[in-house]
Amino acid sequence: MSGPLSGIRIIEMVGLGPCPFAGMMLADMGAEVIRIDRPVRPGENNPFPMLGTACDVMARGRRSLALDLKQPESVQVLLELVTKADALIEGFRPGVMERLGLGPDVCQQHNPRLVYGRITGWGQDGPLAQAAGHDLNYIALSGMLHAMGRPDGPPPPPLNLVGDFGGGAMMLAFGVVCALLEARQSGKGQVIDAAMVDGTALLGAMLYGFRAYGAWHDQRGANLLDGGAHFYDTYTCADGKFISVGAIEPQFYALLLKSAGVTDPAFQQQMSVAAWPELKQKLGAIFASRSRAEWCAIMEGTDICFAPVLDMGEAPSHPHNQQRRNFTEVAGVVQPAPAPRFSRTPAQISRPPAKPGEQSAEILRDWGIPAALAVAVLR
């Protein structure tokens, strides 16, 4: 293994969404992450048929051990693994791990240095802690969903990037690394309560500051960064494709007007909020007069703060993404490459996604699980 986390051992209790994403991030950085999967029963229907295939991108870089945690032998095996691990991450509802006999108190009795990372939507406590939810609900409660979208309708679901992965998985991975660093000094582990609603609220720190200052309003489409400004928005081109413009600074704005051939003196009112709707309509008509490729030829690579809006089929082929190697191919599946970059300990994808339980025997051997116990859970 290479990467800055090489030598770190982590147990991942397999779930959906943010916990696997955090496990992927940690594995990309060189940690040895063992996924604890449920055993696949013969004839059992898989509600998520992508899981366990090469397309299960978030499962990359880890080996899989299948354990039936309803069986005492499997619980014993997991506790044996805990004694040899630096961290454990799980994404179940509060209380599930405790009911399995694998809560943080039990695990840290076996390994006082263990970092125990927990990721949920609402957190380990609070009035909503036991309620079901998804990304959309968590970002709604944080105040961030209300700020997204056009003013003439309800906020649209902005994919599950903000809550699940930004406010959830990345906060969990960050918390795990912070706690591992602290454990090196104190010799003690601790529990991380990473909640997606908490993390999403934190992602909004700048906007809450703007609002307190009076520079942000709750009305969508009336602010600098929410599509209200004509110089910070997306536009439709003549061919039906889209471009993005973010010419906030005066010198960038001046270059935008020059490159677009704008001579209308009304555009000199850049920061007049009252003028934004009319200026946006005029600028939209200009961008609609040429194709996306034509605007790229004029504006891409300049200080206008411009980029074409690419779909997921186009993005890996863009010259900048290609030179930066922002995408890679693993087992025939094109996918985002690990990030960020390290000068001396580069991150890498060590293996394609594993099928549930694919490496059970070798994991038990490599982690030194007693042979009799290993036989009991493998039969």
Helix axes 196-203 and 170-186, enclosed angle (nearest 10): 100
What is the separation of C-alpha 191 from the centre of its chain, rounded to a whole number of angstroms? Answer: 21
**The length of the chain, given as a count of residues:** 379
Question: In a 3-state reduction of DSSP, which class is residue 105?
Answer: helix
> How does 196-230 read in b/e, with b if 16+ C-beta sit within 10 Å?
bbbbbbebbeebeebbeeeebeeebbbbbebbbbb
Q: In 271-332, at which residue ranges do the beta strands (DSSP E only) sit?
A: 306-309, 327-330
Distance CA(184)–CA(176), nearest Å, equals 13
DSSP 20: H
Whole-number Å distance between alpha carbons of 134 and 132 = 7
Please name every residue paired with 333 in a beta bridge, in sequence order, or none if there are none: 330
The sign of the torsion formed by the CA atoms of 102, 34, 52, 361 equals negative
Q: How many degrees, rounded to 5, is the angle at CA 55 between CA 51 and CA 47?
A: 30
The pair of structure tokens assigned to 204 is 């909004």
| Catalytic residue from among 56, 86, 135, 164 | 164
Q: Which of 110, 134, 217, 318 is catalytic?
A: 134
Q: Which residues of 250-274 are buried (b: 16+ CB within 10 A; e: fewer)?
A: eebbbbbbeebebeeeebeebeeee
Q: Which residues is 242 bridged to in the sheet?
A: 236, 309
Q: Are 21 and 56 in contact (CB under 8 A)?
A: no
Q: Is 134 a catalytic residue?
A: yes
Burial of residue 9 (number of CB atoms within 10 Å: 0-12, 13-18, 19+): middle
The helix, strand and coil proportions of the chain, stated in percent and rounded to the nearest 5, come to 40, 15, 45
Which residues, 6 or more positions from 8, have their beta carbon under 8 angstroms from its beta carbon?
A: 26, 30, 31, 32, 86, 87, 180
Which residues are tagged catalytic?
A: 134, 164
